[in-house]
Amino acid sequence: MSTIELRKVTKRFGSFTAVKDVDLSVAAGEVVCLLGPSGCGKTTTLRVIAGLESVTDGEVVIAGKVMNKLPPEKRDIAMVFQSYALY
């Protein structure tokens, strides 16, 4: 069973489609690298998984549960940013 699964995930910002129909399955203990040129949707995909961005279409599934409506603090997922900020 996958620990993290994206099912046909699409994220749009207005008329701009940042991520389109992404299917991804990551098993427990598996290491995955998202690789691509600047602006191809790597960070947006990670932000969708973490719940920092909502999906336009599709499902984010973590540990067998659909997370689309669950806020980031309830997802048990962390993200380390390139630049940090203190609030």
Topology of domain 2-74, CATH: Rossmann fold (3.40.50)
> What is the pTM (predicted TM-score) of this model?
0.88
Mean pLDDT per 10-residue section of the chain, whose length is 87 residues: 90 97 96 95 96 97 94 88 74
Contact (CB, 8 A) for 42 and 48: no
Domain segments of the chain as ranges: 2-74
CA-to-CA distance for 83 and 75, rounded, in angstroms? 22
CA-to-CA distance for 69 and 87, rounded, in angstroms? 25
